[in-house]
Amino acid sequence: MISAIDSSVLFDIIKGTPEAEPSLQALTAAAQRGVTCVSAPVVAELGRYFGKTGQLQEFFVDAGIVYSEISFDSALTASMLMHEYAMNRGSKSRMAADFLIGAHAMLQADCLITRDNGFFRDYFKGLKIINPVA
């Protein structure tokens, strides 16, 4: 099983939030079931918390998380869902990163571990969501 990881879960662990323990437990359980991965937007969002690129890579290696490229189909799906979102909401308050993370998980993984389950459930129909604190 391939579990994609949203930055919200990794922020918990890095920043030591009250949700850090259940987030860590969810990652551990996912690693026991198979592969845990992140895509480019997650790397970009997390990078600022590490002094050097090597430190972020080391964090991923230590956590057993692999990097997964976003496919063309995932990127195209993200763009279509962004358009749908803009048409439904009338604003563009969600960033492209959210749509790329969701589309990557939907097309290239079996589930997404995130604390932002409402948005992903609304726009990524059929994507299995694992919320560590739900």
Q: Report domain extents, the chain.
A: 2-130
**Sorting pLDDT into bands at 50, 70 and 90, what band is 95?**
confident
pLDDT at 88: 81
Cα–Cα distance measured from residue 12 to residue 1, given in angstroms and rounded to the nearest whole number:
23
Cα–Cα distance measured from residue 89 to residue 83, given in angstroms and rounded to the nearest whole number:
10
Cα–Cα distance measured from residue 102 to residue 81, given in angstroms and rounded to the nearest whole number:
10
pLDDT at 90: 58
Cα–Cα distance measured from residue 112 to residue 105, given in angstroms and rounded to the nearest whole number:
6
Write down the H helix ranges in 18-134: 20-33, 40-46, 53-63, 72-89, 96-108, 117-123
Q: Name which of 19-33, 90-104, 119-133 the model is least confident about.
A: 90-104
Q: Which two tokens stand for residue 119?
A: 């948005």
Q: Is the pLDDT of residue 91 over 90?
A: no
Whether 12 and 131 have beta carbons less than 8 Å apart is answered as: no
CATH number of 2-130: 3.40.50.1010
Residues 30-85: pLDDT tens digits?
999 999 999 999 999 999 888 877 899 999 999 999 999 999 999 999 999 999 88
Percent with pLDDT over 70 in the chain: 98
Q: Name which of 42-51, 84-93, 96-105 the model is least confident about.
A: 84-93
Cα–Cα distance measured from residue 90 to residue 83, given in angstroms and rounded to the nearest whole number:
10
